[in-house]
Homo-oligomer: A and B are copies of this chain.
Amino acid sequence: MADMTHDPTADGLDLIKAALGPKGILAGEAAAPLLREWRGRWTGRPCLIAAPATTAEVARIVSIAADHGLAITPQGGNTGLVGGQMAMNGEVLLTLRRLNRVRKVSPLDNSLIVEAGVTLAEAQAAAAGVDRLFPLSIGSEGSCQIGGVISTNAGGVNVLRYGNMRDLVLGVEAVLPSGEIWNGLKRLRKDNTGYDLKQLFIGGEGTLGVVTAAALKLFPRPREKSTVFVALKSPDAALKLLSRAQDASGGGVTSFELMSRAILALVFKNIPDTRDPIAGEHPWYALIEFSAGREARLSALVETLLEDALRADEIADAAVAANEKQAADFWRLRHSMAAAMVPEGGQAKYDVSVPVASVPDFLGAADAAVLKIAPKARIIAFGHMGDGNIHYDILQPVGIAREEFAQAAAAIEVAVYDAIDRFEGSISAEHGVGVARREDIARRKQRAEMEMMRAVKNALDPKGVMNPGKML
């Protein structure tokens, strides 16, 4: 009795299991956290969960997948916000967690080679261990992994000074959709010998291959820091202050985070042990961090700067952190903002960027458009003003049912997107596309750009092995 229906994918799965052995396949309890998006928004349904331990094993898995009609979804720390890391349609979920070696630390090169499964915090620690700085810093740094940080081109609070992840990658090692290993792990500051292919993998959301290791840029550790919390009348005043601070410090502003009173009030309400650094209530605030080398006299610089800004009516009040504890308290306010919104009901959240100077006008236009649709909506705006990147969130009005608010969500989205377009902005500044924004970019990007993206995808992954249904 011959089995006449033959499924090549079943053979592929058997081959992958055989190649990895029992330690390389996850199931049951161990697998559960990999199948659940952390906010519960998406659920993974992979056909297999593979946990390779080496680049060669990753290559073997991808090669088998390519030959047997299987698809692959790579996953890092599973902290992504747009669902790019979820295997939702029977893909092989490939977790990089066992590729967790620090391969090389070179302080004289200011470089670091780590594997994809090393967490961001571990990479920061490896740099600190040789008295260097790896500057990228985001809320999830304890669990997000370098492979994911690269594949989503993560941003965070130090972009103003050091750039996004894209700016911090010297080279990548990746397994291509064919299963071949590309050794692009160069530690060079300059290399003009053809297209800079690593750029396609950075922010590529796993659609062109699996990043297995990377060479990262390190920096001198700042020897002086100054952290300031200021009260402001308006985003426009914040813009002027940013420009003044950048000029005075010669580009020494590491972070410039804007926040409205509305979000700060929610922090004080919902997060224990937080308190206002500045007396009274002000409509806007900014958290600013300066850093410098030795003998920089940052305190004198900051003092003069704040005096000048007060005199120019750019700030209403200011608190300079007297020590590291106080600086950490300031930062805790900023880092608590996402959590402070959770108890407040339904939320429509947007990760907007516009040209830096357009932030005030964008906020004015978006607020007006949203309030026209939902006059009682609570608008929360905060984020990386220095990069033109605002987390623009609309909270369910008090006393209105979650369902009622949800009905206005589609109209609110159109209003916010239209305001973004008007200021030539981005509908996803740092979170990426994944499944969450996939239809939006297809609808809103120039057709020629979408065609180029699809042409690149088809050229490098003609069989559609890598993370289907994401981004494109």
Contacts and interface: CB of A to CB of B under 8 A. Distances in A.
A455 B460 contact: yes
B200 A446 contact: no
Nearest to A472: B194
Given A196-B166, A249-B293, A453-B197, A189 B159 contact: yes
B294 A297 contact: no
Interface stretch (A11-19, A215-223, A273-281): A215-223
Given A182-B452, A220-B246, A460-B456, A445 B193 contact: yes
A108 interface: yes
Interface of A: 106-111, 131, 152-153, 155, 159-160, 163-164, 166-167, 176, 178, 180-184, 186-197, 199-200, 202-204, 219-224, 239, 243, 246-252, 291-297, 300-301, 304, 353-358, 384, 386-389, 424-433, 437, 441, 445-446, 448-450, 452-453, 455-456, 458-460, 471-472
A106 B459 contact: no
A251 B293 contact: yes
Contacts of A449: 182, 184, 194, 197
Given A166-B196, A193-B445, A194-B441, A188 B354 contact: yes
Nearest to A429: B190
B163 A108 contact: no
5 contacts: A111-B355, A192-B432, A194-B450, A195-B453, A249-B293
Nearest to A201: B195
A108 B356 contact: yes
Contacts of A111: 355
A186 B388 CA distance: 12
Given A188-B353, A197-B452, 4 more contacts: A109-B388, A166-B196, A190-B426, A193-B437
B190 A164 contact: yes
Contact of A293 (B301, B386, B452): B301
A260 B105 CA distance: 29
Contact of A219 (B186, B197, B219, B251): B251
A355 B294 contact: no
A188 B187 CA distance: 27
Nearest to A294: B248
A433 B246 CA distance: 37
Contacts of A222: 250
A191 B106 contact: no
A190 B248 CA distance: 24
A362 B195 CA distance: 25
Contacts of A455: 459-460
A153 B187 contact: no
A193 B433 contact: yes
B294 A295 contact: no
Contact of A471 (B194, B456, B458): B194
A458 B437 CA distance: 29
A22 B30 CA distance: 73
Contacts of A357: 106, 108-109
A71 to B, nearest CB: 19
A294 B244 CA distance: 11
Given A192-B431, A200-B195, A460-B452, A356 B109 contact: yes
Q: Nearest 6 pairs between A and B by C-beta?
A: A250-B293, A199-B199, A459-B459, A108-B357, A191-B426, A189-B387
B166 A355 contact: no
